Amino acid sequence: MLSAERDVMVRAFPEIDSGGYASAVTESGRSVTDAARVYRDLTGVLPEAANIDGDAHFDRHVLASILALASSEGGSLAARAGLTDTELGDLFSHWFLARSVESSGDHEASVVDADEIGIVRDLLLENRSSEGDYGRWLAAMIARRAMEPNHLWEDLGLRDRSELTRLIARHFAPLARRNDKNMRWKRFIYRMMCENDGFVMCSTPVCSNCADYALCYGAETGTSRVTSAAQSSATPAEQTV
């Protein structure tokens, strides 16, 4: 991104709980979690106040949401976000005035399968519809966050499933077109991986006759993991594949 473009973008953005995370600060009588605080440090507003009407606003919201949630999980932010240290530094310099954010939390490092991350990332890269670093960074970030146990939109720090659907339609349009039955996104991505390897994940040829129909097409309800209100008593969302 050219310097002039970045200056315009910064002006366009004037000023991010996982359930169970401690509240970090209080603003206007509301508890603000570590993730929400990071989101605010990156964007100037709390996540529920984010303006995502324009594509640039939306793209920035997506990055801030992922980084905010990843930072609240402790450990290496780059590793939690699925990027190298160099890629993370480049991302910050392109999209945010802040050059870094501090990780918080004392959660144990997740045990993730690097090969599986690579397969998911490659699938996304093969189906990306946006050029440049953003699409490449996003593929890596989604692949890493897909290793977490909740709905994919939750583990990306997004506010609801519709934001994930918009993200995929914008940056991975071929996948969006193929998911014409509105299957859960994580389930759909893994189905595509299996098909690419010559395996059949489904037990029946017709989805409506399958005993796992609800696992693939059920509602993805839950609470955003990047929120300004502490959710210490929230129940984790149903795990999905």
Chunked in runs of 10, what are the mean pLDDT values of the chain (241 residues)? 39 34 41 85 94 96 97 93 96 90 66 91 96 96 96 96 97 96 90 76 52 57 74 39 41
Residues ≥6 apart with Cβ < 8 Å to 29: none
Q: Which two tokens stand for residue 67?
A: 């980084």
- Taking residue 68's Cβ as centre, other Cβ atoms within 10 Å add up to 27
Q: Which two tokens stand for residue 169?
A: 């339609």
Q: In whole angstroms, what is the distance from residue 53 CA to residue 16 CA?
A: 18
Q: What is the pLDDT of residue 29?
A: 41
Q: In whole angstroms, what is the distance from residue 124 CA to residue 135 CA?
A: 9
Q: Which helix (H) or strand (E) holds 33?
A: strand 30-33
Q: At what angle do helices 114-126 and 132-145 cross, to 10 degrees?
A: 140
Q: In whole angstroms, what is the distance from residue 72 CA to residue 106 CA?
A: 9
Q: What is the pTM of this model?
A: 0.79
Quick check: 36 and 228 in contact, CB under 8 A? yes
Residues ≥6 apart with Cβ < 8 Å to 102: 71
Q: What is the pLDDT of residue 69?
A: 95
Residue 23's φ and ψ, nearest 5 degrees, are -75, 135
Q: What is the pLDDT of residue 108?
A: 57
- Reference 47, options 107, 56, 55, 57; nearest CA is 57
Using the Cα atoms of residue 158, residue 159, residue 164 and residue 170 in order, give the sign of their dihedral: negative
Domain positions in the chain: 3-217
